[in-house]
Amino acid sequence: MARRKKGGGHEGGHGWFVTFADLMALLMSFFVMIAAYSTQDQKKLQLVAGSMRDAFGSTKESRYAGVVEQEGVPTRDKLRNARKAPPEQATDRPSSPANNAEMEGDPTPAKTFGFALAAASLRQALQALPEIAELSKHIIVEETKEGLNVSLVDQDGRAMFGSGSTQPYDRTRLVLEGIAPTLRRVGQRISVTGHTAAMRPGQRPEGPPWELSAGRAAVVREILASQGIPDDRFAVVAGKADVDPMFPDNPYIAANRRVTVTLMNEPPPIPVTAKP
């Protein structure tokens, strides 16, 4: 009967040594990899990050959408003020919004006056009106350097005002009446500006652009005033025709036709009854 060798299945009885050597090799590879990452070439890493961003982080298709959430999912697939940076200007480190704004020329101010709460209240007020759910793409609530903007914009084939008219449709009036209570509670002064889209060569305008934009802004102010907003809260009511398009890369699209109500980025006015 053959005698069974001691020491397991490996010859020479050194099976544990092979396992230990494999473990040491794995640990050595791990530390070499850590050392390689700690001495990385920053410039090459920026190029890699920029190339990945260029390949996967942009969209060639530009569509227009509003910000009223549908079933809790916000829709925003229209990029504004987008800038394509070359790979060598990319960074592998995320920075704060303030730094990004300073680097990319973002007009969003560093200090605002309770606009986050006001924006949430406006969106909630709009969502509480099921009859205007179909207008979600017509309403844009956003912060800019001027303040908190609420813009009522046109879509192709669906306008917020009659063609060549300063009078809004009933759905537009309903939106304005819905946001008026929130605007009334916030202390900032209000600016109302009307805008038109540029006319393509050979296209007839729907009306005098300056008069049309100013008239629509005045009507919006009247509707808001009828909902209890005092006259002294309105700082500016003006028309800008087509000189300030929402999308400068395409000033002819319908989305440039809009009326914007702005909660101005300034400290609330001191009440007349306040004593020094």
Per-residue pLDDT of 126-160, as tens digits, reads: 777 777 767 777 888 888 888 899 999 988 778 89
State whether residue 40 is helix, strand or coil: coil
Say how many C-beta atoms besides its own lie within 10 A of residue 194's C-beta: 28
Res. 94: pLDDT tops 60: no
Q: 166: closest CA among 229, 220, 125, 117?
A: 220
**% pLDDT > 90, the chain:** 24
Mean pLDDT of 95-111: 46
pLDDT value at residue 5: 53
Burial class (CB in 10 A: 0-12, 13-18, 19+), 139: buried
With a threshold of 0.75, does the pTM exceed it?
no
CA distance 98 to 203: 43
- Please tell me the class of the 114-264 domain: alpha beta
Res. 200: pLDDT tops 80: yes
pLDDT value at residue 240: 94
**% pLDDT > 70, the chain:** 63
Backbone torsions φ then ψ of 110, nearest 5 degrees: -75, -30
**Domain residue spans of the chain:** 114-264
